[in-house]
Structure 1
Amino acid sequence: MRHTRLFIHTRGHPSAILLLVQLAGMLLYPFIERTPESHVAFNAFGIVVLAFTIRMVRRTPGETWISVALAVPIIILLVLQSLFDLRVLLPWSSALEALFYFYAALSLVAYMMEDQRATTDELFAAAATFTLLAWGFTHLYILVQELQPGTFVAAVNAAAPRSWSELNYLSFALLSSTGIGDVIPLTPHARALASVEMLVGLMYLAAVVARLIGFTTQSKIARRRERRGGDSWEQD
């Protein structure tokens, strides 16, 4: 019975499911990306995330067919990379994945802004959107690194290519403007991209998240007024 209730509850909050899947990927990738089977496991989990993201886009004003049209070639490229170890396809799949995650993030923003109230699912969507943006920029960094090796350096193994987890860490540090990342972009193109991500993160927090907080505050004030009005009516 509890499992049934949990299933029904999560079905009503697809944003929470997407967020949990993304967070699970971020926690699991460091364990698998250094193993011999890491490439296959990484791509397989990437396909799972694509599926959950498409499911989320269906609940938003965004067009599902656009996300599907982007996801299909991504899946084909990921499968080819897994079967034949074709690293030459990585820039193409990374570019398409970046577009896919940015489109999903924009769809979620439209979903959160289509009314003037903040539901529980929209609050989960705010966190999921932030993660989608971070993942989108992560794939752009992978694209830049593949096209221009040595774009990013770190304190450990400075000459080695940066892993997905390292670039994802950089992306979250820039998007949140915390400045705690130890991965440094060296080339002008990478630094310009990093500057754009910092601007996007600042605008997202200032415009979208702040507006959701405003909706939540307005809802609480309205409920308090209704309660006070009801109490006054009962006293009369």
Structure 2
Amino acid sequence: MTAARASPPGAGLERPDDPDADALHRPAILRPRHGDHGGGGDAAPGRCRPVTGHDPSAARLRLGRRWNREPGTPRRRLTLRELPQGERALNPLLVMLLLLVLVAKPLVELGLLPRQTVGGMVLLTILAGLVGLAPAERRFRSLLMAGCIGAMGLLILAIGSADPRAQLPGILGAMLALSLLASAVLRQSLASGRITLRRIQGAIAAYLLIGLVFACAYDLVATFVPGAFAQNGQPLAARVLSGDFVFFSFVTLTSTGYGDMVPVHPVARTLAMLELLTGQLYLAVVIARLVSLEIADRGR
């Protein structure tokens, strides 16, 4: 009886032919082909087939190369074009605005945070918003524009001059930058197309930005007209990013009107009426626009 010839090591195993699949599963799980029951022990990596399933698409290949990298390979850095863009930038923008208005401002007024913290958060919000909402080919230009506007406001805020008129460039810079950001958010949120949760969040963010723009406008009026606003019967002094004016702005925008802070000068009263009308018309127009876009999308 003739003895059976021993199979060479690795027989019945196939070598990977697809270099992309090999790159996707590196280091790959090595498994013998079905029907090969011989051979315990270590198998050569070049003679084993990685478990790949079906052929991955190009998108999965890129994802595999990014996350299934070999040990010791440096992590690839994100570029400016890979930051959240378009609708994806509306959610983090809303979170930053809520933190600024509802968390940072009260802590600054209580003395728990330096006033420069609010200036830094405003600058960061403006930069993130303008860069995220700008088209990919215009992101660097938007970053430069937002940086120049915000840096001017931060510089005046850091100096902290006792003369309110010396803070005028900071007020104007913040007002201009926030206005540009509000218009960019509205353009993204109210554009034609399907209404998503992110677009609704963008409409809320634009509402908060309008309140901050009017707060800067009140600062501007109080700078040139001392005593234009009164709080509990006492004249209110101008101050960049003042919590009093932020409070008065949102109280007026939502037509609440507690009465503890009132405009005294005719210019201040006119500005308050303008914000009151803006708040009411914003809700009516934006809700109507969102509803009409949703109806049009369902009718297609």
**TM more than 0.5:** yes
Over the residues paired in the alignment, what is the CA RMSD in angstroms? 3.1
1:134–1:172 Cα contact (<8 Å) kept: yes
Say if 1:97 and 1:67 are closer, same or farther in 2 by CA, change over 3 A.
farther
2:227 corresponds to 1:150: yes
Give a deviation string over 1:123-161, Cα, whole Å, max 9, x none.
111000001111101111111111122111123x83343
2:290 corresponds to 1:212: yes
Where 2:105 maps in the other structure, the secondary structure is helix
- Match of 1:159? 235
TM-aligned CA deviation for residue 170 of structure 1:
1.5
- Match of 2:111? 35
2:91 corresponds to 1:16: yes
Separation of aligned partners in 2, 1:208 and 1:47: 27
TM-aligned CA deviation for residue 81 of structure 1:
3.2
Identity of aligned pairs, percent?
Answer: 22
1:89-168 matched pairs, under 5 angstroms = 89-155=166-232, 158-161=234-237, 164-168=242-246
The AA in structure 1 aligned to 2:152 is I
Say if 1:80 and 1:100 are closer, same or farther in 2 by CA, change over 3 A.
closer
- Match of 1:44? 120
Separation of aligned partners in 1, 2:142 and 2:131: 13
Say if 1:36 and 1:147 are closer, same or farther in 2 by CA, change over 3 A.
farther
Higher alpha-carbon Rg = 2
2:142 corresponds to 1:81: no
Separation of aligned partners in 2, 1:209 and 1:182: 31
Larger RCO (alpha carbons 8 Å, 6+ apart)? 1
Say if 1:50 and 1:94 are closer, same or farther in 2 by CA, change over 3 A.
same
Where 1:153 maps in the other structure, the secondary structure is strand
TM-aligned CA deviation for residue 116 of structure 1:
4.0
Separation of aligned partners in 2, 1:182 and 1:40: 27
Any unmatched runs of 5+ in structure 1? 1-7, 224-236
Separation of aligned partners in 2, 1:108 and 1:63: 15
Any unmatched runs of 5+ in structure 2? 1-81
How many pairs were matched up?
211
Where 1:13 maps in the other structure, the secondary structure is helix
- Match of 2:129? 53
- Match of 2:34? none
The AA in structure 2 aligned to 1:44 is G
TM-aligned CA deviation for residue 86 of structure 1:
2.6
Larger helix share, 1 or 2? 1
1:67–1:103 Cα contact (<8 Å) kept: no
1:101–1:135 Cα contact (<8 Å) kept: yes
2:219–2:245 Cα contact (<8 Å) kept: yes
